[in-house]
Amino acid sequence: MSDLQQDTVVEQATFGAGCFWGAEASFRALPGVLDSRVGFARSAGGEAALIEVVQVDFDARVIPYSRLIEHFWTLHDPTSVDRQGADVGVKYRSALFFSNAQQAHLALVAKQQLDASGHLSKPVATVIVPLGEFQLADEDQQRYLEKHGGSSCSI
């Protein structure tokens, strides 16, 4: 194992930002993101609806979780409830799914800071919930924009 591999601290983050194709492509472009996959998630609290998400594997020594959250805010309208652009429905809900107490804390603080910043005309509607179930989307959905030459979800 190389020194680089020994120093890698792999963590996982799961984000719902509307169309998962665009979110996946955007996260994959960040230095420190090692891999990603799209799928559907629901909270550990048992909410029935599945939400379109991108799940990101990242090297926490290169890009901290807090930086991924900052990027997440820029990908979509976090004030919109169950809608992102032309995509309407609960599966397009803005959501941060956390895997541990540290992620939960960082997500809640980031949401409070964004609300307090005055940059948004409405309160942040993003739900912050524990990751319960994750269902991988079909292979055709993985890296969709990369495979089909698109640059956004509007294709």
**Would you please indicate which residues are annotated as catalytic (active-site) residues?**
19
What tokens were used for 148? 């089909």
User: Distance between CA atoms of 3 and 61, rounded to whole angstroms?
Assistant: 13
User: Distance between CA atoms of 74 and 94, rounded to whole angstroms?
Assistant: 12
Q: Which secondary-structure segment (H or E) carries 67?
A: helix 65-75
User: Distance between CA atoms of 97 and 47, rounded to whole angstroms?
Assistant: 13
Q: What are phi and psi of 8, to 5 degrees?
A: -75, 130
Q: Which secondary-structure segment (H or E) carries 106?
A: helix 101-116
Q: Identify the CA nearest to 51 among candidates 133, 145, 113.
A: 133
DSSP tag of 138: P
